[in-house]
A = this chain, B = another copy of it.
Amino acid sequence: MLFHVRMDVRIPRDLPADEAAEILAREKAYSQELQASGKWRHIWRLAGEYANFSIFDVRDNTELHEILVGLPLFKFMEIQVTPLLRHPSSIREDDS
């Protein structure tokens, strides 16, 4: 089941540099593991903004929630969730 998620990141200026670097490294590893599993199907950067549009393919709302609150950057993010589905004009068989 698909969800469109916009994440805007705001790192506080007084976060120590090494702490920020450590969180960002964990964030990247966390994201890549979920991408590899197929649950985080796409991630794109918005040009000129510290933000991404992502597509998640999860079992249900609960799994989506657990993935999002588990983000190492979660407390520094503003998140917008939109449930999606296959569009009737899509030429594909599935929702990809």
Q: Give chain A's interface residues, CB within 8 Å of chain B.
A: 1-5, 12-13, 27-28, 31-32, 35-36, 42-50, 52-53, 55, 60-62, 64-65, 68-69, 75, 79, 81-91, 95-96
Contact = CB atoms under 8 A, between A and B. Distances in A.
Contact of A44 (B4, B5, B44, B50): B4
A27 B88 CA distance: 12
A45 B91 contact: no
Nearest to A80: B48
A41 to B, nearest CB: 10
A68 B50 CA distance: 11
B64 A32 contact: no
B61 A2 contact: yes
